[in-house]
Amino acid sequence: MTLLPLNVRGAVTRRRGKILAGPIDVRLEGMGITIVIGPNGSGKTSLLRMLHGIARLSEGGIEWACPMDEARKRQAFVFQRPVVLHRSVLANVAFPLRLRGVARGVARERAMAWVRRVGLDEMADRPGTDLSGGESQKLAIARALVIEPDLVFLDEPCASLDGSAIREIEALLLEAAASGTRIVMSTHDMGQARRLADEIWFLHRGRLHESGPAANFLTDPQTPSARAFLNGDIVE
């Protein structure tokens, strides 16, 4: 049973009567990395939360290729500000496995493999709350990927990180995508979008103005708002 394609039809999420994102009509399929871009306040975070199911769907529909309960088990979400539990680095990464009923020893073994993979093995027994921003984000990515999800949503995971941390996280994401994990990630960094994107979704005022292959969008955007955004103009 597959997770994708994901079909989104007329999807809207609201808060206190205000539309945060939508109506959105889009289809997510295939492999690779989809990068979500747009001006500040365009609804990038709300869109990702809505697709993942942590923002309430006010209108429209989101249809996975499998039942919703199964779809939720096969995806993960990485927040802009990493959620770090008050336990060791190793226990943080093992946590989602234990939630899924994986035996303690097996969970620790699989978690340790990911702790090494993201370069945190020397900190495995330290409290997760002691980590730096870049280290915390690597922990969050390891915790998302340890369950071997079909799909990961990431909300600007490199915001406020230095170049070295960004490079390491991008390498992890490219490796995950090459291994078959579908990635949908928002960013404000157009350099990062150019480095990572196979597909781009451009949001403006909560609406999806353009979507398609990254090479096409970056060289020949079809809407005035997208052209202005790529030119570095203020888009209101």
**What is the full DSSP assignment across 146-170?**
TT--SEEEEESTTTT--HHHHHHHH
pLDDT surpassing 80 at residue 1: no
* pLDDT band at residue 223 under the 50/70/90 scheme: very high
92-148, pLDDT tens digit by residue? Answer: 999 999 999 999 999 999 999 999 999 999 999 999 999 999 999 999 999 999 999
52-99, pLDDT tens digit by residue? Answer: 999 999 999 999 999 999 999 999 999 998 889 999 999 999 999 999
> What pLDDT is stored for residue 65 in this prediction?
96
Q: Which domains does the chain have, with CATH numbers?
A: 6-84+131-230 (3.40.50.300)
**What is the full DSSP assignment across 3-38?**
---EEEEEEEEEETTEEEEEEEEEEE-SSSEEEEE-
> What pLDDT is stored for residue 232 in this prediction?
86
> What pLDDT is stored for residue 173 in this prediction?
95
> What pLDDT is stored for residue 124 in this prediction?
96
Sign of torsion over alpha carbons 128, 129, 134, 138 = positive
